C-alpha cells in the first residue's frame, strides 16, 4: 500500500537513568570530551588553544563567565543535572608598527609593517592624540586618508584584525595635512627631429611632476617620467616632426 502523503511525528526524551550529561564544544583549540556524570560528581573540563590562538570566551549553560578566573579549565561541582560548556579561542595577533606617514595633494598616507596572521588592518585617527575614531579598513599595508583639512594635525594608529580578533593598536604617528595641489597646465608641446618636448607651468607646493603620454588619441595614458623640472623631452618618438 502506498503512503506517499503519510506524515510521522516523533518526540525523543532522555531516559531518566539518574545520569547527568555535560556537553562540551570548542573553536580554535581543544577541550575535554563530553561527560556522563553521576549525581554529586565533580567534573573538571579542561581546554587549551591551538598554536597562535588565545582564549576569547567561555560560556557555561548559555552564560559567559569571567575567563580571568578560568583560563584553562572549569569545574562543575556537585553535579545534579545536565550542563553545557562552550569555549572560543581567537587568533593571537601581534602589535602593529607604523613605518611611515606623509602628506601630499590634500591627503595623508599612512603605512605599516605586516603582522603575522592578519587578514586586514583597522586604521584609527585623532585630532588631539587622545580620542581615536576608526576611519577605515584595508588589506594593504598602507591607507590614504582623503578626508583631511589642510593645516590640521592628525594622529594615526593601526591594528591588525583576523576572524574577530583585534590586535593591539600601534604607537601613534602624526603629521599636519598639506594643501591640495592645483591642476598642472601644459604651456607647449613641440615635436621635432624625432623628439617631443613638453613644458608646463610651475605648481605651487609641488615637489615633482609626473608626465603621461597617450598613443591612442587620449583614450589611455602611460607614465613617461617623474621629474622635478617643468619640462621634459622624449626621444625616438614615431612621427615626431
State pLDDT tens for residues 168-185.
999 999 999 988 778 889
CA nearest to 170, candidates 110, 90, 117: 110
Residues 126-147, buried b or exposed e (16+ Cβ, 10 A)? Answer: beeeeebeeeeeeeebebebee
pLDDT at 15: 45
State pLDDT tens for residues 116-145.
999 999 999 999 999 999 999 999 999 999
> Which tops the pLDDT comparison, 207 or 85?
85
Percentage of the chain beyond pLDDT 90 is 76
State pLDDT tens for residues 214-229.
888 889 999 999 999 9
pLDDT at 145: 97
CA nearest to 57, candidates 77, 82, 28: 28
pLDDT at 181: 77
pLDDT band at 241 (very low <50, low <70, confident <90, very high): very low
State pLDDT tens for residues 60-101.
999 999 999 999 999 999 999 999 999 999 999 999 999 999
Residue 142 region, left (φ>0) first, then alpha (ψ -120 to 50), else beta? beta
Q: Is the pLDDT of residue 17 over 70?
A: no
Cβ(189)–Cβ(198) under 8 Å?
yes
CA nearest to 91, candidates 50, 140, 32, 138: 50
Contacts of 218 (CB under 8 A, 6+ apart): none
Average pLDDT, the chain: 89
pLDDT band at 5 (very low <50, low <70, confident <90, very high): low
Q: Is the pLDDT of residue 3 over 80?
A: no
pLDDT at 240: 43
Residues 90-119, buried b or exposed e (16+ Cβ, 10 A)? Answer: bbbbeebebeebebbebebbbbbeebebbe
pLDDT at 9: 53
Q: Is the pLDDT of residue 10 over 70?
A: no
pLDDT at 164: 85
pLDDT at 46: 98
Amino acid at each position: 500500500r502506498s503512503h506517499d502523503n503519510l506524515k510521522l511525528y516523533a518526540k525523543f526524551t532522555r531516559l531518566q537513568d539518574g545520569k547527568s550529561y555535560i556537553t562540551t564544544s570548542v573553536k580554535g583549540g581543544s577541550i575535554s570530551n563530553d561527560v556522563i556524570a553521576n549525581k554529586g560528581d565533580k567534573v573538571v573540563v579542561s581546554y587549551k588553544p591551538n598554536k597562535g590562538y588565545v582564549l576569547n570566551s567561555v560560556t557555561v549553560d548559555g552564560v559567559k563567565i569571567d575567563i580571568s578566573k578560568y583560563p584553562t579549565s572549569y569545574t562543575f561541582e556537585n553535579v545534579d543535572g545536565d550542563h553545557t560548556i562552550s569555549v572560543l579561542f581567537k587568533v593571537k595577533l601581534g602589535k602593529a608598527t607604523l613605518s611611515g606617514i606623509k602628506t601630499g595633494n590634500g591627503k595623508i598616507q599612512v603605512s605599516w609593517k605586516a603582522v603575522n596572521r592578519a587578514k586586514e588592518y583597522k586604521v584609527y585617527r585623532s585630532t588631539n592624540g587622545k580620542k581615536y575614531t576608526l576611519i577605515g579598513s584595508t588589506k594593504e599595508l598602507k591607507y590614504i586618508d582623503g578626508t583631511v583639512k589642510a593645516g590640521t594635525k592628525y594622529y594615526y594608529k593601526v591594528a591588525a584584525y583576523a576572524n574577530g580578533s583585534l590586535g593591539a593598536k600601534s604607537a601613534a604617528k602624526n603629521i599636519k595635512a598639506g594643501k591640495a595641489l592645483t591642476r598642472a597646465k601644459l604651456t607647449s608641446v613641440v615635436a621635432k627631429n624625432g623628439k617631443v618636448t613638453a613644458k608646463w607651468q610651475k605648481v605651487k607646493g609641488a615637489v615633482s611632476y609626473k608626465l603621461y603620454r597617450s598613443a591612442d588619441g587620449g583614450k589611455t595614458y602611460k607614465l613617461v617620467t617623474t621629474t622635478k623640472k617643468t619640462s621634459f623631452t622624449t626621444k625616438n618618438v614615431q612621427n615626431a616632426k
